[in-house]
């Protein structure tokens, strides 16, 4: 029987479910003109969620519902950043959604449910929970991608996402069933013990491979990246930003739960697999990004390469390595919100501002937006003193520490190649002349501008002083 | 004693760039004056280094250290010795002159130009102060961003190509150094340069590290054969960008040799010194010939920069030969000392040359030598300065160009007369390409009617040129204060060369 304590441990999740249901009701009763209230309440709900996560933080890892749900420092940090990213997305998206007549209650409730799925995923203590969290997250995401239902591009992206997503969920489930067959347990903690003690059978290795396929799909690691460019480009930008931030944090959490919490004893098996996946992602992501003309698609390929770097942290399979990977995931999420935030801020009704050429001469029209975008680009490229550089530094260090010097070298070679397309965006904004007659002014929404500025400046500030964040990440895995 | 002087020097221009930027395009006058104020304040603050510093002590001084990243054990560590101080003074001095030099020349978004210059200045000072390898790397790389913008926004017609090449080329070199630094960190548990210098390393490790460092710094210097970004960057950069690039940024490369290769990989450095020496000689002789045939003045001076920087690398690595093979510490001292003087001198001379070319370009909007001729008839004052700097560039005794080159040639004679012979070639080639350019630009009849309408330098330009001229002459006639400033640090560095780490 669930005790009161169980509920207390899961309070943030329960609270969000209740709040999301209330929002749904609120939306049903509200006139379209009052939808702004819904927006503000949603942001507030998320902020309170952050408060609940932080305030209820346990000293030591605790589990609830018979080990189904784990609340530890790793989950706490990821949840704070996931909620934060979703809140940022709400703030960044409002004018964009209004302009496109998509300013509806579904957007908010689906987003919040997706975030709840992400939170359950990173807190999972059981394979079933992993699957449930993942499905809640992805099912909501399918709906979000198709939110603009009159757009053929959006619908195409949603179908692709759904078909491939369903396939990968199937793979994951298949892998889980094999692991269950081999060990007779679904609980990650017991699984960890079973792997260590019982050694490994072929069945386990097969199960592991299928699970890695599922994880790779979720992360968007090559060769399981096919859906990423289409979804990034086809989805409304306000949804793309979600797939690129909150969803990536969740994917890291899932990888950590399955690979370390569950299959940590088989690190020797999965390290090399991840290394190969990392090389493939770095190569495909960086090389294909060079020829893109659509900024959202470019950022999609850049995501693929960034997830490759994230794997560089995981291959080490030590607490420092996981901390580096989590640091990278957080860093990537913040860079992604900043970059897509600028796109959202510049988009207008009938103008998506998603082609790279749309940014021509941005420095003449709106120097501040150009500056923010430049910060995001240099951070993505990993140029010091931006945040992105230090995240790269840590994962490279982790790869070298794991004795994979070659992998680190591959990483830096592709960092140089990757530099080119980020610089191209800066070039377009700063060195090119603006297109005559084209309006390139950011949305007038004051809060959007202020939040976006803070988001981008944080990339610089965290570059100058990132010690505490790394300290938290390290502490989360030290115990 | 106020012990945050170094931090002040780094952050004053960087933070000072914010009000300059905020002054906005609406009030360009205010932005210019603010930028000048910040640059002058930085220069004054850098002068305070001289009394605060004990020249008799060759160790790092005025140290500042704060924990930066506790969980990695990385410190925000700053300190300077005589060599760093000389370079910092060069930076702040040039910092004022480029701002004055750009005063009316930059009409398009002057506030952004000035702000980028100030940020760049702060970052370069940071490179010369950092005692933590990670901090050094951050400053080293961050410099690229403002320079990228400076060339790309205010540059010439092929600016996009040039600036992308500059950025990617330099990034390419340094990122392998990053791998080397991470390797060292995992071995030593710290990025502190002093600890890394004491870390024992096998020859194999040193070799890999040596080439990683060499690649990073050789591109920055730049040495043959990785110099090809420099002519492009110089030609396309605005005058101020060229001045900073030639006067200060190239020195970051040779400074890196001193702080990384010499202390961390001395044995590999000795073993492979011949590579650097050969490359330096190629730079001096071959690039000299390349400079001779240039038709674009900026390209000519850019190639001459490569040749002159060859002396710096030659001086540094000849010291390896002298210490390890001949055990001749005095000659090694001389070579190293010469390299240092050459670094400072080249900063003034090349900065002045690029300023002169900028002055001509502002009037005629061309840098082709053939478009000029007979300039002395209409711009006598300008001609005076141009000849003076040309003499310094070709290493005439009495100018700063002579001192460093002469010391390096003397030291290389002690190591191997053949090296000295090739190095001394520069006196002929350098004179040839510089004076031939002067002949074609200044003397003769006026053939281009536009030249006849050119006006002589105004007060602002005169100020910049006089400042450069004063520095060039002072250093040429009385180099003793500079040598004294760096002497203790240089001898300490030379003594370190003798220490085997295997």
Report d(CA B403, CA B348) in Å as an integer. Answer: 13
B430 to B282, B311, B434: CA distances (angstroms): 14, 12, 6
Report d(CA A397, CA B42) in Å as an integer. Answer: 37
Q: Which of A384, A400, A412 sits opposite B138 (nearest CB)?
A: A384
A389 chain-B contacts, CB cut-off 8 A: 138, 141
What's the Rg (C-alpha) of chain B? Answer: 22
By CB atoms closer than 10 A (0-12, 13-18, 19+), residue A109 is buried
pTM here? 0.93
pLDDT of residue A198: 66
A419/B167 Cβ within 8 A:
yes
CA B196 to chain centre: 25
Lowest mean pLDDT among A227-241, A425-439, B76-90, B169-183: A425-439
| pLDDT confidence band for A231 (50 / 70 / 90) | very high
Region A447-460: what's the mean pLDDT?
A: 92
> In which residue are the tokens 């790309």 written?
B152
A412 chain-B contacts, CB cut-off 8 A: 175-176, 178-179
Region A434-439: what's the mean pLDDT?
A: 76
Region A305-314: what's the mean pLDDT?
A: 93
Q: What is the pLDDT of residues A356-401, one digit of tens each?
A: 888 888 888 888 999 999 999 999 999 988 999 999 999 999 999 9
pLDDT of residue B375: 85
pLDDT at A283 over 80: yes
Report d(CA B477, CA A338) in Å as an integer. Answer: 56
State the sign of the Cα–Cα–Cα–Cα dihedral A191, A196, A201, A207. positive
Report d(CA A349, CA A55) in Å as an integer. Answer: 41
State the sign of the Cα–Cα–Cα–Cα dihedral B303, B308, B309, B311. positive
**H/E stretch holding A393:** helix A387-401
| pLDDT confidence band for A317 (50 / 70 / 90) | confident
CA distance A431 to chain B (A): 5
A467 chain-B contacts, CB cut-off 8 A: 67-72
- Cis bond leading into B347, ω under 30°? no
Q: Which residues of B474-495 are buried (b: 16+ CB within 10 A; e: fewer)?
A: ebbeebeebbebbbbbbbebbe
CA B204 to chain centre: 31
Write phi, then psi, for B74 (nearest 5 degrees): -100, 135
Report d(CA B203, CA A188) in Å as an integer. Answer: 47
B142 chain-A contacts, CB cut-off 8 A: 383-385
Q: Which residues of B404-416 are buried (b: 16+ CB within 10 A; e: fewer)?
A: bbbbbbebbbbbb
Report d(CA B489, CA B497) in Å as an integer. Answer: 13
Residue of A nearest to B108 (CA): A364
| pLDDT confidence band for A162 (50 / 70 / 90) | very high
What are the extents of the domains in chain B?
Answer: 272-502
Q: Which of A367, A419, A467 sits opposite B171 (nearest CB)?
A: A419
CA distance B7 to chain A (A): 14
CA A246 to chain centre: 4
| pLDDT confidence band for A76 (50 / 70 / 90) | very high
Q: The tokens of B311 are what?
A: 């002396």
Q: Tell me if A397 sits within 8 A of A312, measured CB to CB.
A: no
| pLDDT confidence band for A199 (50 / 70 / 90) | low
Q: Which of A412, A419, A420 sits opposite B178 (nearest CB)?
A: A412
Q: Tell me if A321 sits within 8 A of A313, measured CB to CB.
A: yes
Q: Which of B138, B149, B182 sits opposite A396 (nearest CB)?
A: B182
DSSP B130: B
Report d(CA A44, CA B464) in Å as an integer. Answer: 58
pLDDT at A108 over 90: yes
| pLDDT confidence band for A36 (50 / 70 / 90) | confident
pLDDT at A414 over 90: yes
Residue of A nearest to B151 (CA): A431
pLDDT of residue A479: 64
* Averaged confidence pLDDT in chain A: 90
Between A441 and B279, the higher pLDDT residue: B279
pLDDT of residue A348: 84
Residue A361 falls in which region: left (phi positive, over 0), alpha (psi -120 to 50) or beta: left
By CB atoms closer than 10 A (0-12, 13-18, 19+), residue B11 is middle
Q: The tokens of A35 are what?
A: 């939808």
Q: Where do the DSSP E strands lie in B219-362?
A: none
B159/A430 Cβ within 8 A:
no
Q: Which of B167, B176, B179 sits opposite A423 (nearest CB)?
A: B167
Residue of B nearest to A392 (CA): B178
Q: The tokens of B405 are what?
A: 């080159």
Q: Tell me if B333 sits within 8 A of B413, measured CB to CB.
A: no
Residues of A with CB under 8 A from a CB of B: 363, 367, 378, 383-385, 389, 393, 396-397, 400-401, 405, 408-409, 412, 415-416, 419-420, 423, 426-427, 430-431, 465-467, 470-471, 474
Write phi, then psi, for A68 (nearest 5 degrees): -65, -35
Q: Which residues of B269-308 are buried (b: 16+ CB within 10 A; e: fewer)?
A: bbbbbeebbebbbbbbbbbbebbbebebbbbbbbbbbbbb
DSSP3 helix / strand / coil % (chain B, rounded to 5): 75, 5, 20
Region A441-461: what's the mean pLDDT?
A: 88
A420/B164 Cβ within 8 A:
yes
The two most distant CA atoms of chain B are separated, in Å, by 70
pLDDT at A1 over 70: no
B138 chain-A contacts, CB cut-off 8 A: 384-385, 389
B182 chain-A contacts, CB cut-off 8 A: 393, 396-397, 400, 408
Report d(CA A70, CA A133) in Å as an integer. Answer: 13
Region A154-164: what's the mean pLDDT?
A: 92
Cβ neighbours around B340 below 10 Å, total: 31
A385/B138 Cβ within 8 A:
yes
B67 chain-A contacts, CB cut-off 8 A: 467
A465 chain-B contacts, CB cut-off 8 A: 68
Contacts of residue B129, Cβ cutoff 8 Å, sequence gap at least 6: B6, B9, B10, B78, B79, B80, B84, B88
Write phi, then psi, for A63 (nearest 5 degrees): -130, 155
B153/A393 Cβ within 8 A:
no
3-state SS, residue B367: coil
B185 chain-A contacts, CB cut-off 8 A: 397
Cβ neighbours around A106 below 10 Å, total: 14
B468 to B85, B345, B443: CA distances (angstroms): 19, 10, 23
Region A56-84: what's the mean pLDDT?
A: 90
Each residue's pLDDT expressed in tens, for chain B with a length of 502 residues: 457 888 999 999 999 999 998 887 678 888 899 999 999 999 999 998 888 888 788 788 888 888 888 888 888 989 998 899 999 999 999 999 999 988 888 888 888 999 999 999 999 999 999 999 999 999 999 999 999 999 999 988 888 999 999 999 999 988 889 999 999 999 988 899 988 888 888 999 999 999 999 999 999 988 888 999 999 999 999 999 999 999 999 999 999 999 999 889 988 988 999 999 999 999 999 999 999 999 999 999 999 999 999 999 999 999 888 888 888 888 888 999 999 999 999 999 999 999 999 999 988 888 888 888 888 888 889 999 999 999 999 888 888 888 888 899 999 998 888 999 988 888 889 899 999 999 988 888 888 888 888 888 888 899 999 999 999 999 888 888 888 888 888 888 888 888 887 7
pLDDT of residue A266: 85
């Amino acid at each position: 029987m669930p005790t009161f304590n169980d509920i207390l441990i899961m309070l943030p999740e329960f609270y969000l479910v209740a709040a999301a249901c209330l929002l749904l009701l609120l939306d049903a009763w509200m006139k379209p003109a009052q939808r702004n209230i819904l927006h503000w309440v949603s942001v507030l709900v998320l902020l309170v969620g952050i408060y609940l996560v932080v305030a209820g933080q346990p000293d030591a890892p605790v589990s609830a519902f018979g080990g189904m749900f784990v609340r530890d420092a790793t989950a706490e940090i990821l949840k704070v950043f996931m909620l934060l990213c979703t809140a940022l997305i709400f703030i960044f998206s409002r004018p964009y959604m209004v302009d496109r007549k998509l300013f509806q209650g579904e957007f908010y409730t689906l987003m919040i449910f997706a975030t709840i799925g992400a939170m359950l995923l990173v807190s999972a203590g059981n394979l079933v929970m992993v699957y449930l969290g993942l499905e809640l997250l992805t099912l909501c995401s399918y709906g979000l991608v198709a939110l603009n239902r009159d757009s053929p591009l959006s619908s195409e992206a949603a179908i692709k996402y759904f078909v491939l997503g369903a396939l990968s969920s199937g793979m994951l489930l298949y892998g889980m069933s094999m692991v269950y067959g081999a060990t007779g347990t679904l609980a990650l903690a017991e699984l960890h013990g079973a792997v260590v003690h019982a050694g490994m059978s072929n069945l386990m290795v097969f199960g592991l491979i299928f699970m890695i396929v599922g994880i790779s799909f979720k992360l968007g690691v090559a060769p399981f990246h096919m859906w990423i460019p289409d979804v990034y480009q086809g989805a409304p930008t306000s949804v793309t930003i979600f797939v690129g931030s909150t969803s990536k944090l969740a994917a890291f959490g899932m990888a950590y739960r399955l690979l370390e919490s569950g299959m940590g004893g088989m690190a020797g098996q999965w390290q090399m697999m991840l290394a190969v996946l990392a090389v493939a992602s770095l190569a495909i992501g960086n090389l294909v990004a060079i020829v893109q003309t659509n900024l959202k698609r470019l950022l999609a390929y850049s995501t693929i390469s960034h997830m490759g770097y994230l794997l560089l942290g995981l291959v080490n399979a030590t607490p420092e390595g996981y901390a580096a990977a989590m640091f990278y995931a957080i860093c990537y999420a913040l860079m992604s919100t900043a970059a897509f935030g600028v796109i959202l801020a510049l988009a207008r009704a009938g103008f998506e501002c998603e082609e790279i050429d749309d940014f021509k001469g941005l420095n003449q029209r709106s120097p501040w937006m150009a500056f923010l975008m430049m910060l995001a680009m240099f951070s993505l490229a990993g140029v010091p003193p931006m945040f992105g550089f230090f995240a790269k530094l840590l994962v490279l260090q982790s790869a070298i520490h794991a004795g994979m010097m070659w992998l680190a070298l591959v990483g830096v070679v592709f960092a140089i190649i990757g530099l080119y397309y980020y610089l191209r965006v800066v070039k377009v904004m700063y060195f090119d002349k603006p297109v005559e007659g084209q309006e390139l002014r950011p949305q007038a929404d004051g809060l959007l501008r202020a939040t976006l500025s803070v988001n981008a400046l944080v990339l610089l500030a965290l570059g100058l002083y990132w010690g505490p964040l790394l300290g938290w990440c390290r502490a989360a895995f030290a115990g | 004693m106020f012990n945050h002087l170094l931090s002040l020097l780094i952050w004053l221009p960087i933070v000072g760039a914010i009000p300059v930027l905020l002054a906005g395009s609406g009030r360009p006058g205010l932005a210019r004056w603010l930028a000048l104020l910040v640059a002058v304040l930085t220069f004054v603050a850098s002068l305070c280094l001289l009394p605060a510093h004990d020249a008799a002590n060759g160790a790092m001084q005025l140290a500042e250290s704060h924990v930066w990243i506790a969980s990695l054990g990385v410190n925000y560590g700053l300190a300077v010795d005589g060599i760093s101080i000389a370079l910092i003074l060069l930076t702040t001095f040039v910092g004022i002159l480029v701002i004055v030099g750009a005063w009316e020349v930059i009409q398009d978004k002057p506030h952004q130009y000035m702000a980028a210059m100030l940020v760049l200045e702060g970052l370069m000072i940071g490179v010369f102060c950092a005692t933590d390898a990670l901090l050094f790397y951050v400053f080293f790389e961050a410099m690229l961003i403002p320079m990228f913008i400076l060339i790309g926004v205010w540059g010439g017609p092929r600016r996009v190509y040039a600036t992308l090449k500059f950025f990617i080329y330099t990034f390419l070199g340094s990122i392998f150094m990053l791998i080397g630094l991470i390797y060292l960190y995992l071995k030593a548990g710290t990025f502190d340069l002093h600890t890394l210098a004491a870390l024992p390393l096998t020859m194999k490790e040193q070799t890999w590290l040596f080439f990683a460092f060499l690649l990073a710094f050789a591109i920055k210097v730049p040495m043959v054969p990785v110099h090809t970004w420099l002519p492009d960057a110089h030609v396309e950069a605005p005058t101020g960008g060229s001045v900073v690039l030639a006067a200060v940024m190239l020195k970051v490369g040779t400074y890196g040799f001193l702080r990384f290769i010499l202390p961390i990989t001395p044995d590999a450095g000795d073993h492979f010194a011949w590579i650097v020496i050969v490359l330096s000689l190629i730079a001096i002789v071959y690039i000299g010939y390349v400079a001779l045939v240039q038709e674009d003045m900026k390209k000519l001076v850019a190639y001459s920069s490569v040749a002159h920087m060859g002396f710096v690398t030659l001086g540094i690595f000849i010291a390896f030969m002298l210490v390890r093979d001949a055990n001749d510490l005095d000659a090694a001292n001389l070579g190293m000392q010469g390299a240092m003087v050459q670094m400072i001198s080249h900063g003034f001379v090349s900065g002045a040359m690029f300023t002169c070319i900028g002055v001509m370009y502002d009037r005629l909007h061309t840098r082709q030598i053939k478009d000029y001729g007979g300039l002395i008839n209409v711009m006598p004052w300008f001609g005076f300065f141009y000849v003076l700097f040309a003499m310094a560039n070709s290493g005439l005794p009495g100018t700063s160009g002579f001192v460093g080159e002469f010391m390096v040639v003397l030291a290389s004679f002690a190591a191997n007369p053949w090296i000295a012979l090739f190095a001394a070639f520069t006196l002929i080639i350098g004179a040839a390409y510089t004076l031939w350019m002067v002949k074609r630009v200044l003397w003769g009849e006026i053939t281009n009617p536009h030249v006849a309408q050119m006006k002589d330098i105004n007060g602002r330009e005169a100020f910049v040129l006089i400042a450069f001229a004063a520095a060039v002459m002072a250093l040429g006639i009385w180099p003793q204060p500079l040598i004294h400033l760096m002497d203790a640090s240089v001898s300490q560095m030379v003594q370190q060369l003798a220490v085997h780490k295997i």
